[in-house]
Structure formats: structure tokens, C-alpha cells
């Protein structure tokens, strides 16, 4: 089970998705990942334009190269997100 959690998290699955797949609570999955230093995928390129990203140690992991790319990506993927205003 622990290998499955690690593999799913590194594949980019959210904590909620892993909890559903393993029939566990989200807090249990979050605690396990935190204790074992398991993190999600590290993005190498901007999700919107594909430019290389410069990940800064000790900072939140970047997914976009700039604010414009972040806004563009969210505007184009709003229907996929369950918390949009559509």
C-alpha cells in the first residue's frame, strides 16, 4: 500500500484522488506523505507555454512561468475544475 501511495503521488495524483483509490481518508494520506517526504511531480516546463521553469529551493513549486500563463491556463481549463464559476 505504501508503494502505491508513493507511486500515485509522484505520478501527479491529488491527495483526494489517492484517498479514493486506496479507501483511506485524505488526512491519512496527507500525514503519510508528509512523514515520508513524498511530494507530487516537480514541473520542469510551464503548463501553458512550455518554457523551462526555474524551481527555487524552499519556495512553492512553480507550474507556470508567469502570471499571464497561469491566468490563460486556468481560463482554458475552467470546465475541468469543479470549483469554477461556470
Over the stretch 12-56, which tens digit does the pLDDT of each residue have? 788 888 899 999 998 999 899 888 888 776 778 888 898 998 888
Structural domain spans, the chain: 2-35, 42-86
The DSSP letter of residue 45 is: B
Q: How far apart are CA 75 and CA 69, in angstroms?
A: 10
Is the CB of residue 65 less than 8 Å from the CB of residue 51? yes
Q: What is the pLDDT of residue 71?
A: 94
Instruction: Give me the pLDDT at residue 82, please.
Output: 63
- pLDDT score, position 33: 87
pTM over cut 0.85: no
pLDDT, one tens digit per residue, over 29-41 is 989 988 888 877 6
Contact assessment for residue 59 and residue 47, using Cβ atoms and an 8 Å cutoff: no
Distance of alpha carbon 10 from alpha carbon 15, whole angstroms: 11
Amino acid at each position: 500500500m505504501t508503494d502505491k501511495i508513493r507511486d500515485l503521488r509522484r505520478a501527479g495524483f491529488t491527495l483526494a484522488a489517492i484517498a479514493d483509490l486506496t479507501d483511506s481518508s485524505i488526512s491519512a494520506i496527507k500525514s503519510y506523505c508528509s512523514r515520508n517526504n513524498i511530494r507530487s511531480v516537480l514541473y520542469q516546463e510551464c503548463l501553458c507555454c512550455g518554457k523551462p521553469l526555474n524551481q527555487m529551493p524552499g519556495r512553492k513549486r512553480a507550474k507556470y512561468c508567469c502570471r499571464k500563463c497561469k491566468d490563460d491556463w486556468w481560463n482554458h481549463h475552467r470546465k475541468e475544475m469543479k470549483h469554477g464559476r461556470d
